[in-house]
Structure 1
Amino acid sequence: MLAEPSAREHAPRQLTQQELDTVRGAVVRDAAGAILTPGEVQDLRDRGINAQSAANWPGLSRDTLPEAEPRVIQIADASKRVPDKITLAIGVVTPITFLDKRGKPWPIASVAYDPRTFSQDGNGCGNNQQQAPAALTGERPTTITLMPCRYQTFGNISVSLEGLGTPIVLLAQSGFGTGKMDLPVTVRLTGASPETVAQARIDETERKSRALIRAYNTVPAVPPGVDPELDSFLTGVPPKGAQPVRTDLREVSAWLYNGRLYLRGPVTVINPAYDAMGAGTDGQFIWRFNTPMARVRVVLDGGEERPVTIGL
């Protein structure tokens, strides 16, 4: 029979230091081979960025980026005009400003559009907010912003301006390989905006006030030795013997005194020529006519011009 091997013969042999170094080196080389080099990392990063850029490219692969061109649209009568077309670009917010003939801003009352096609001032393209007037409180805007929801879009936008009966309609498109975009867009109308009209009224009132002040400074309120009672009429307390006279304007009072006609009120006499006048601190004026007359023409405090009939 064969003899069983002893436990000594089954014990593993210890590796020599040289063998251990060989095994360790092989493990390190295998681990190092699994780590990407800096060049390989950069190559993968570039591939990812290029893929992302290709996915987000605003158009077809053969298209170039659109060139921006300012656009000015002149409108005389919106009711008889074929809508103008503006070109937009995906990812680009286009401001559209409305001005009157003097270049003054024209307030926007409301805007109508398809929110599935365009985003107006951030509303649209999935941001489902109910369309509302451009401004509910405070000052109305005079500029809106428009952006297409997709690369290729076509539709229209209707803008109602304050005080204008007909809305401004613009056709809008994007894509289709145009290679350009309208940026910014300015719409100029031949009329006057409500703000311009209101400012013109204020300017006219100020002009007439300055003219009245100049007239008061150049014409003596009380000619020396001629009419010492002029101030009495100005205060509304006429001197004794003054005869009241009826007028067809409630704000104007009239008297006959010493053969002369006196008119008092917050008005400016423009015809006929007066012989003396005075102004009070309460906005009242007194006008004297040496020859009484039955009709004079005045300008009211608000700027309205009208005749005043005197019942002599």
Structure 2
Amino acid sequence: MARCFKGQREETKGMRRLLLGFAVCAAISMKTVCVFAQDLDRSHDKFEDFTAKMKAAKGQEGATGTAETPPTGAAPGTGPADPLGVAGDLPMGNGPNVLGGGAPQTPEELQAMMEQEAADQQKKLEEATFEMALKQLLPLKPDQIRTTLDRFRESREAAETPLTIPEPRSEVQTASLDPTAEPLIIRAAPGNVTTLTFLDATGAPWPIQDMSWAGPFTIQPTDSGSNIIRLSPTTAHGAGNISIRMVDMMTPVVMRLTTGIDWVHYRLDVRIPKPGPLAKTPIIEYGGLKTVAGKDEQMVGVLDGTPPVGAEKLKVEGVDGRTSAYAMSGRTYLRTPLTLLSPGWDASVSSADGVNVYAFNSAPVVLLSDEGRMVKAHIMSDEVTTP
């Protein structure tokens, strides 16, 4: 979870840097536009000054021409000398053979031409400014943007992917109430939820009264009177413990909490080796027979679905595939969701999902109860040994 939050913070920082870059580019573009606008204003002012001077010069030329026009009949050469000299006799105008034909002859035409040129320059300036701003705001091409996003996705995936995915396990363990015994160990892993279920010797739920814990763990109890606890660690390497007080039991159940990345308890059924307040009433009472698994590791292994090495799997006929049997040390271990009626067993254990394991002396035929319906099953050697 911490790595996930760190990845999200890194992603947020990356987006902030990208937005900051866009803002800087926009500021540069606005500055460029302002400079171009100032240059355009100065050009327009110069054009206005030039036009005014042209109008003033035209007015002076008209006044001078009126004053210096020689009277009718005056002899040639008596007027003012042409400042252009011989060049003053060259033809001027818009004729096809005149140098500079098509040039404006009046200030109005010159002003119109200058205004058109200014408009063209303004349009070119706007286009250049737009292209520059677009290039600064979006300097990357579409394929480059896709490549950048792919690299970002790969980096984020590498940062958020856990180093290893822990192996999930589901187990049934018996909690010892002996104060000198080692407490059970609950194995948790970051990013995974471990579910604890508390059962009594008959497989019935044992409600939780209260609990307390220490260590970097988040523990969420279910509703009041429930027998289920969910926990998850907040660090990859941590340790702690938990103390649970069960209903109608004076001795607390104490367990160790550890974290790791190799394997994790997805589900752990904790059996308390005594009948609880919700204990099931057996269909047949076998006086004096042992009905609590205690520390029988063979029974717990069969209940988990992982019988001990060397256990011979037996063939069971007459029932569905939910029932299986194993032979170990001259005894038969029957794993079934049904209730065993005959023969009498000397030990049994149950899980939270209603699966039972019975240990009894070898018998070829067993009688089971399937919700009140009697079922006969035949057990025989299958000559298959578990590895």
**Larger relative contact order (CA 8 Å, sep ≥ 6):** 1
TM interval, shorter chain, is 0.3 to 0.5
TM-score (norm 1): 0.46
Please identify which structure carries the higher helix content.
Answer: 2
When normalised by structure 2's length, the TM-score is: 0.38
Larger radius of gyration: 2
